[in-house]
Chains A and B, each alone.
Chain A
Amino acid sequence: MAHVVLKDLVKTYGTFRAVNDVSLTVNDGEFVALVGPSGCGKTTTLNLVAGLIPLTSGDIVIGERVVNDLDPKDRDIAMVFQNYALYPQKSVYNNLAFPLQMRKLSREEIDRKVRETARILDMTHLLERKPRELSGGQQQRVALGRALVRDPAVFLMDEPLSNLDAKLRVQMRSEIKRFHQDLKATIIYVTHDQLEAVTMADKMAVMSGGYLQQYDTPAQVFAHPVNMFVASFIGSPAMSLIPLESASAGGKTELTSPDGWALPLSARNARKVEAATGRKIVLGARHSTVKLHKGPVPGAVPTKAYTVEPTGDVTFVQAYLSGAIVNISVAPDIAVAPDEPIWLEFDQERMHLFDGETQNALEAA
């Protein structure tokens, strides 16, 4: 096992910069998820670490070695691909044996390691089959086994679960997590599914447009998103982002909406707003931090319910504020009808404030 350091990683295709100055450190034994929407550069970053595509500039360190110019085979890594990339003409046994054969291990040692890996992954009975004779979940396991059999310094996983059906995905998710806990393996895991990242990773690196937006523990990223992109990407349903304007009157700061209402801010939030570059402020609120009232309450802002979605244990209500959709979760026994007037109260402690110009989170000075 080893740590991985990415330093000012850049990858350009012509004039297009796919990866922009990405720097992060993956500690030994850490599970790091690279997460972001399609085309954000996360897979490119992973392929750079693997050595499958040449680096434009920057440094990659695996263990104590700078591996910038090393072939993939010399980087001591293993990779699990989204489409598994099992060798179709080889049996499961030979798929697992291939990396060992390429490293010229003895026949006995190969046999021992292959069988041990098969035993760990509970697929001894599949060893003689061809990949096409396996189910998706089994293929996934073989792909994992082929990475595992070699005991590499770093595991790279490129959306390994996204081809599985929903039920199997949840099951394999916990298996991979368990696998990480048992092996204390260093894993870099690429996914577009923020839920996978949040549930599995020790740390997550949120990427967008080739830039690393935030790199922290899932809890920190969830609680303190550094900008509006991260705020809206992490969490489901997404954080509601309401465009407002700040106004100061008589020593008090409030946020005003084109809808006509004003939201007074707490002293701490008022200090955050003072740090903004302009008057445009975006209020961010997760569904669970907004309280729904059926009558006017001081500090609550008026609107109308737009849609009501009961899910069983919680009911989601959507409403428009300043032209933006706001998600609110309420207990299922509270009946709300569409178009019913409602009042929303925001939790001052747990609301997020973003600079409307820079889109960055505002911090109290």
Chain B
Amino acid sequence: MSVVSASDPSRPRSRRRFDAWRWAGRVFLVLMLVYTAMPMIWMFITSIKSGFAAMQFPPQWWPSEPTLASYQKLLDPANDTGRDFLRFFWNSLFVSTMTTICAVVVAVPAAYAFSRFTFPGRTFLFFSVLLRNMFPAVVFLVPLFILMRFLGLVNTHTSLVLTYLTFGLPLAIWLLKGFYDNIPIQLEQAARIDGATRLQAFVRIVMPLSAPGIIATAIYSFIGAWNEYIYAYTLLTRNEQLTLPIGIQRFFSENTTDFPGLMAASFMMSVPVVVLFLVLQRYFVRALTEGAVKH
């Protein structure tokens, strides 16, 4: 439509209005970009300042003496801070990865079953899956803590993985069910007629098509677990088990706060999430099912 109205001299009016909308859109996007990117940029700038420069007022927009000292300190296992940070980082990575794997392993078949099969109690089950998400997370803090203590799981990473699954799984199942609903059932029927068993049809035809959904679900679970604070704070007390969000808190000390160190740690904490997105974003955009069937 844009091509037609732009090359059609008989409709200058609609063309001008169209351009105005476009510019409004661009301005809006730039504002959104500034809004979302500024904290990240400021975080990075602060992280390469010295402790003194970080507290200066008016602030230095670009540090007069940029330094990577905070990063060196955090990534050097020789000192206490570095050892702690690397351990927290590893703990977070472990908990988040385990959560992601479990979420995908359970959600994929569950979502497929909800999408394809009718069985007694299907609707009830499906909505009860969502019931958990009707309440704020903190509501379950005490019950889950008591449950974990009963199971002897307090102060273990397992308790965190299980807790994160109670948040992540319902949404993962909903998300994936949407993807399976959009994959025409005729594809599986064709595969089954072509000689595949039900499982083969799922693994060889449906799974590759739902890859974008699985990846989106995985990223979602990973980020949820990676950023989670309150449960990690409650269920873990031993220093060597802490995850990053709790660990970073240790940069706030009673008398002074090491702002460059805090910002450097926060910046590195955001790295895995950004990398995940950059590597896997093409799966989000690729419309894989296009051309499969005629609608």
CB of B123 closer than 8 Å to a CB of A: no
Does B192 lie within 8 Å of A131, measured CB to CB?
no
Which one of B14-22, B49-57, B141-149, B195-203 contacts A?
B195-203
Give residues of chain B (183-221) contacting chain A, Cβ–Cβ below 8 Å. Answer: 184, 186-187, 189-197, 200, 205, 208-209
Which one of B223-231, B249-257, B271-279, B287-295 contacts A?
B287-295
Does A71 lie within 8 Å of B192, measured CB to CB?
yes
Bound-complex Cα distance A87 to B186 (A): 10
- Known contacts: A71-B197, A131-B291, A136-B294. The answer to whether A81 contacts B208 by CB under 8 A is no
Does B208 lie within 8 Å of A89, measured CB to CB?
yes
Which residue of A is nearest B186, CB measured? A85
CB of A73 closer than 8 Å to a CB of B: yes
> What are the residues of chain B within 8 A of A133 when measuring CB–CB?
291
Bound-complex Cα distance A134 to B187 (A): 17
Does B190 lie within 8 Å of A79, measured CB to CB?
yes
Identify which of B184, B189, B200, B291 contacts A134 (C-beta below 8 A).
B291
Does A81 lie within 8 Å of B190, measured CB to CB?
yes
> What are the residues of chain A within 8 A of B295 when measuring CB–CB?
83
> What are the residues of chain A within 8 A of B200 when measuring CB–CB?
102
Interface of B is mostly: loop
Does A81 lie within 8 Å of B191, measured CB to CB?
no
- Which of A71, A87, A139 gathers most chain B CB within 10 Å? A87
Bound-complex Cα distance A146 to B194 (A): 9
> What are the residues of chain B within 8 A of A78 when measuring CB–CB?
193-194
Bound-complex Cα distance A211 to B205 (A): 35
State the total of A-B contacts with C-beta under 8 angstroms: 86
- Known contacts: A83-B184, A83-B186. The answer to whether A88 contacts B290 by CB under 8 A is yes
Does B190 lie within 8 Å of A85, measured CB to CB?
yes
> What are the residues of chain A within 8 A of B288 when measuring CB–CB?
88-89
- Known contacts: A89-B208, A89-B288, A102-B200. The answer to whether A84 contacts B294 by CB under 8 A is yes
> What are the residues of chain B within 8 A of A84 when measuring CB–CB?
293-294
CB of A103 closer than 8 Å to a CB of B: yes
Bound-complex Cα distance A83 to B184 (A): 9
CB of A306 closer than 8 Å to a CB of B: no
CB of A201 closer than 8 Å to a CB of B: no
B212 CB to nearest chain A CB (Å): 11
Does A52 lie within 8 Å of B192, measured CB to CB?
yes
Bound-complex Cα distance A78 to B193 (A): 6
> What are the residues of chain B within 8 A of A77 when measuring CB–CB?
193
Does A88 lie within 8 Å of B193, measured CB to CB?
no
Give residues of chain A (238-275) contacting chain B, Cβ–Cβ below 8 Å. Answer: none
Give residues of chain B (152-202) contacting chain A, Cβ–Cβ below 8 Å. Answer: 184, 186-187, 189-197, 200
Bound-complex Cα distance A89 to B291 (A): 9
Bound-complex Cα distance A106 to B235 (A): 57
Bound-complex Cα distance A52 to B186 (A): 10
Which residue of B is nearest A164, CB measured? B294
Give residues of chain A (33-74) contacting chain B, Cβ–Cβ below 8 Å. Answer: 50, 52, 71-73
> What are the residues of chain B within 8 A of A98 when measuring CB–CB?
191, 194
> What are the residues of chain A within 8 A of B197 when measuring CB–CB?
71, 73
Identify which of A75, A89, A102, A136 contacts B196 (C-beta below 8 A).
A102
B183 CB to nearest chain A CB (Å): 9
Which residue of A is nearest B118, CB measured? A13
> What are the residues of chain A within 8 A of B291 when measuring CB–CB?
86, 88, 130-134, 139
Does A85 lie within 8 Å of B292, measured CB to CB?
yes
Give residues of chain A (80-102) contacting chain B, Cβ–Cβ below 8 Å. Answer: 81-89, 98-99, 102
Which residue of B is nearest A162, CB measured? B294
> What are the residues of chain B within 8 A of A134 when measuring CB–CB?
291
CB of A163 closer than 8 Å to a CB of B: yes
Does B195 lie within 8 Å of A102, measured CB to CB?
yes
Which residue of A is nearest B211, CB measured? A89
- Known contacts: A83-B295, A87-B205, A88-B209. The answer to whether A52 contacts B189 by CB under 8 A is yes
> What are the residues of chain A within 8 A of B289 when measuring CB–CB?
88
- Known contacts: A50-B189, A52-B189, A131-B292. The answer to whether A85 contacts B184 by CB under 8 A is yes
A349 CB to nearest chain B CB (Å): 46
B26 CB to nearest chain A CB (Å): 31
> What are the residues of chain A within 8 A of B195 when measuring CB–CB?
73, 99, 102-103
- Which of B184, B200, B209, B294 gathers most chain A CB within 10 Å? B294
Give residues of chain A (135-156) contacting chain B, Cβ–Cβ below 8 Å. Answer: 136, 139, 146, 150
Which residue of B is nearest A132, CB measured? B291
Bound-complex Cα distance A78 to B191 (A): 10
Bound-complex Cα distance A180 to B173 (A): 46
Does A85 lie within 8 Å of B293, measured CB to CB?
yes
Identify which of A73, A81, A99, A132 contacts B186 (C-beta below 8 A).
A81
> What are the residues of chain B within 8 A of A130 when measuring CB–CB?
291
Bound-complex Cα distance A82 to B185 (A): 12
Q: Can you list 20 contacts pairing A with B, beta carbon distance less than 8 Å?
A: A50-B193, A72-B189, A73-B192, A73-B196, A78-B193, A79-B189, A83-B186, A83-B292, A83-B295, A84-B294, A86-B291, A88-B290, A88-B291, A99-B195, A102-B191, A102-B195, A102-B196, A131-B292, A136-B294, A150-B194
Residues of B within 8 A of A (CB): 184, 186-187, 189-197, 200, 205, 208-209, 288-295
Which 6 pairs, one residue from A and one from B, show the smallest C-beta to C-beta distance?
A: A132-B291, A102-B195, A83-B293, A88-B292, A99-B194, A85-B186
Contacts A83-B294, A88-B292 supplied; 11 other A-B pairs, CB < 8 Å: A73-B197, A79-B189, A83-B293, A85-B293, A87-B205, A98-B194, A99-B195, A102-B200, A103-B195, A134-B291, A139-B291
